[in-house]
Structure 1
Amino acid sequence: MIGSRRRSRSTTNVWPGYVDALSALLMLVIFMLLIYVVSQLFLAQTLSDRNSELARLNLRLSELSQLLGLEQNTTAALEQQMLIVQNSFSDSLAENEDLEQRLEASRDQLMRQTADAEARAENLAGMNQKLENKDELSNSQQTMIMRLSNQIASLQNQLRQITAALRLQKEMTVDKEDELENVSRRLNTLLAERINQLEQYQSEFFSRLRDLLAANKNIRIVGDRFLLPSELLFASGSALLGAEGKRELDKLAGVLLDVVETIPADLEWILRIDGHTDRIPINTPQFPSNWELSTARAVAVVRYLADQSVPQNRMVAAGFGEFFPVADGTTPAALQENRRIEIKLTDR
């Protein structure tokens, strides 16, 4: 009975240690979750601030572009007005010269008539009346010349004002161009940051997909592209996906959807699907050339990925026919390498 009590007491004393260990583990998990939540909130706030700054700069760039357009229109209008004033000034000078010539001719004619009158010395009353008329004509011409001179002076004053306004406008345009250049520089910096972000997601997508598809020796990697042989996806001369090809595309869709969840919504990216064929021509009712066959295969891959919930607006399909081979020659191995589907995550 004493032994039984000791065993019971020993068994009961073990639980506090377990409880302490579980409590410490729970506190550690809660602490890690708090750190994760705080980091996510900080990252979301940072991205939001950058997006707001980018939107504000884009709006400012648009406003400056509109202002620059208005300033250029105003400058053009002022230059046109100055041209009109210059033409009017030239016309006034020409008219002034014509009037001076006419006045000089009238004076010469008057002097000749006066000389003739003095030589003949007859009908002095009528001659005096004629002279008075000639004097009135000369006064009228002089008044017209004076008025034209005043107009010319006024036009010259307006021309000086327009020239000063044009000079001020050019200075303001230079300031606007400098400000626009600064905004463009800041915008290019933000765009470069966006490109770096996309490159990080490209690297993650490439690395995870490379590890996932490494078991299939038929799939090749060239640069930043994955090359899937057509035989893996389609039958000869067909654009219908086979079972094995669908399994490989399921892996691709799974990796892509995981990466997409971490990509910001305003980051422009696309999954590019390119179809390629070999040099052997095809001519069937369904596919009159290799262009149609390569395009149909690329579209088939896009449609299947769309059925796996990959966003349709983030994919593009293109067919290149036989015009971009990766292997030279017409050997069976070269032809097989050229029959392929290329997949690349890139920017739009």
Structure 2
Amino acid sequence: MIGARKRIGGSGGSDNSWPGFVDALSTLLLVIIFLLSMFVLAQFFLGQALTGREQALAELRGQVAELGNLLKMERQANTSLRDSMAELSASLTAANADRDRLTAELEGTKAALEGSSSRLSELSETYEALEAEAQTLRTQNKISAEALSEEQVISARARAEVARLQRDISALREQLARLETALETSEERDRRNQAVIVDLGRRLNRALASKVEELAGYRSEFFGRLKEVLSTRPEIRIEGDRFVFASELLFASASAELGPEGRAELRKFAETLMAISKEIPPELNWILRIDGHTDNRPISNYQFKNNWELSSARAISVVQFLISAGVPANRLAAAGFGEHQPIDPGEDAFALSRNRRIEMRLTQR
């Protein structure tokens, strides 16, 4: 009975929470394993994305390094003559300073020589007076031998002083001759440096003129090719050294967004520009300037407060499209002039249409 009660009591009071705890722990472990798997996968895909970006960044850095080397070579070529001129100018300045110093020393030496000559004259007069007085005293024999001896000592001292002054004058004359020689040498070096500077200036001017003429030749060829490609559109024209696009061909009214027709014409323009740019030597630092112009009618909307902003935004839109078409960004520049550079002073619709334009000018930095 006692044993039966124990079994019955044990069966009725057993704890069933342990299996449930094991199930919860297993579920939690599975969730943790799933989260770790997702984390590893995310890390893997993130590493792949970062590797691709690092490769693209490395390529961009290589291109930037190449452009930096080209720019450095251009700057070195352009500044070599300037460095030579700066060095020669510094040498000329130093030579002028030396010449001024030698001139000052020469003036001081001359002043000392004049003082010494004056002192010599005074001592000579004193000596002659003493000699005359001694001769008179000896002739008259009115003074004693001791007084005569003192006069002779004074005379000897005067003669020694005269001899010393004569030596000093000789030394000063030699120093004066050396200073004059050094001054002549400095002036000769100054003349040679000035001649070299003049020659370098002429060479630099000739080099700059040659670069300008070379760029003018490429500009003429560039405009000639563009005229052949785009001559069928009346909205596109060449005026002097500028290629002019009517704004109506590129943009809608009061807008800076390029339309389909404008994109097509600008794509032809970019292809021609890229073709001719391959023939331009790399040391010729050319740039295509995009100028935006509007008419004189005021504008104010949610995008643009005035014509300045509209003309600048249109020029920037053209630059951005040319960059997307393959033109290097370092060869482009954008500028906005608003209504302040009209080409037609009239106020009719035709004049206003002519003044709304995009101008492109091939120039040199």
Q: What is the TM-score when the length of structure 1 is the normalising length? A: 0.67
| Alignment partner, residue 34 of structure 2 | none
Q: Is the 8 A contact 1:212 1:251 kept in 2?
A: yes
Q: How does 1:228-243 map to 2 (within 5 A)?
A: 228-243=245-260
Q: Is the 8 A contact 2:245 2:357 kept in 1?
A: yes
Tell me which amino acid in the other structure corresponds to 1:165: T
Q: Is the 8 A contact 1:99 1:141 kept in 2?
A: no
SS, match of residue 359 in structure 2: strand
> What's the CA shift for 1:87?
1.2
SS, match of residue 345 in structure 1: strand
For 1:285 and 1:136, how far apart are their aligned partners in 2? 110
For 1:57 and 1:240, how far apart are their aligned partners in 2? 40
Cα–Cα, structure 1 residues 56 and 317, in superposed 2: closer, same or farther, change >3 Å? closer
> What's the CA shift for 1:150?
1.4
| Alignment partner, residue 184 of structure 1 | 203
| Alignment partner, residue 33 of structure 1 | none
Cα–Cα, structure 1 residues 89 and 56, in superposed 2: closer, same or farther, change >3 Å? same
| Alignment partner, residue 337 of structure 1 | 354
Q: Is the 8 A contact 1:92 1:148 kept in 2?
A: no
Cα–Cα, structure 1 residues 306 and 57, in superposed 2: closer, same or farther, change >3 Å? closer
> What's the CA shift for 1:83?
0.4
SS, match of residue 288 in structure 2: strand
User: Aligned residue pairs: how many?
Assistant: 292
Tell me which amino acid in the other structure corresponds to 1:95: G
> What's the CA shift for 1:199?
3.8
| Alignment partner, residue 203 of structure 1 | 220
- Given candidates 256, 259, 275, the residue that maps to 1:258 is 275
For 1:256 and 1:113, how far apart are their aligned partners in 2? 107
For 1:81 and 1:305, how far apart are their aligned partners in 2? 62
SS, match of residue 203 in structure 1: helix
| Alignment partner, residue 34 of structure 1 | none
> What's the CA shift for 1:94?
2.4
SS, match of residue 87 in structure 1: helix
Structure 1 residue 143 corresponds to structure 2 residue 176? no
For 1:59 and 1:270, how far apart are their aligned partners in 2? 19
- Given candidates 321, 327, 332, the residue that maps to 1:310 is 327
Cα–Cα, structure 1 residues 169 and 289, in superposed 2: closer, same or farther, change >3 Å? same
> What's the CA shift for 1:180?
4.5
For 1:164 and 1:224, how far apart are their aligned partners in 2? 54
For 1:232 and 1:306, how far apart are their aligned partners in 2? 19
Cα–Cα, structure 1 residues 63 and 233, in superposed 2: closer, same or farther, change >3 Å? closer
SS, match of residue 335 in structure 2: strand
| Alignment partner, residue 148 of structure 2 | 128
For 2:80 and 2:267, how far apart are their aligned partners in 1? 45
Listed one character per residue, the Cα deviations across residues 57-96 of structure 1 (whole Å, up to 9, x for unaligned) are 9898568646744653464255234303421321222221
For 2:86 and 2:128, how far apart are their aligned partners in 1? 63
Cα RMSD for the two superposed structures? 4.0
User: Which structure would you say has the larger Rg?
Assistant: 2
Q: How does 1:213-228 map to 2 (within 5 A)?
A: 213-228=230-245
For 2:246 and 2:123, how far apart are their aligned partners in 1? 99
Listed one character per residue, the Cα deviations across residues 191-241 of structure 1 (whole Å, up to 9, x for unaligned) are 63x555544433333233223323332223323422212232233333333
Which structure 1 residue ranges, 5 or more long, are not aligned? 1-53
| Alignment partner, residue 43 of structure 2 | none
Q: Is the 8 A contact 1:64 1:176 kept in 2?
A: no
Listed one character per residue, the Cα deviations across residues 15-74 of structure 1 (whole Å, up to 9, x for unaligned) are xxxxxxxxxxxxxxxxxxxxxxxxxxxxxxxxxxxxxxx999989856864674465346
SS, match of residue 239 in structure 1: coil
Bigger mean CA deviation after superposition, 266-275 or 65-74: 65-74
Q: Is the 8 A contact 1:75 1:166 kept in 2?
A: yes
- Given candidates 287, 291, 299, the residue that maps to 2:308 is 291
Listed one character per residue, the Cα deviations across residues 130-159 of structure 1 (whole Å, up to 9, x for unaligned) are 424422431342133112221222123314
Tell me which amino acid in the other structure corresponds to 1:155: Q
Q: Is the 8 A contact 2:218 2:280 kept in 1?
A: yes
> What's the CA shift for 1:125?
5.2
Tell me which amino acid in the other structure corresponds to 1:240: E
Q: Is the 8 A contact 2:99 2:187 kept in 1?
A: no
> What's the CA shift for 1:273?
0.8
Listed one character per residue, the Cα deviations across residues 94-122 of structure 1 (whole Å, up to 9, x for unaligned) are 22133135425644774797699789988
Bigger mean CA deviation after superposition, 222-231 or 165-174: 165-174
Q: Is the 8 A contact 2:246 2:357 kept in 1?
A: yes
Q: What is the TM-score when the length of structure 2 is the normalising length? A: 0.65
Q: Is the 8 A contact 1:71 1:169 kept in 2?
A: no
> What's the CA shift for 1:335?
1.2
Q: Is the 8 A contact 1:85 1:155 kept in 2?
A: no
Q: How does 1:14-163 map to 2 (within 5 A)?
A: 65=85, 68-69=88-89, 72-73=92-93, 75-104=95-124, 106-107=126-127, 110=130, 124=144, 127-162=147-182
| Alignment partner, residue 246 of structure 1 | 263
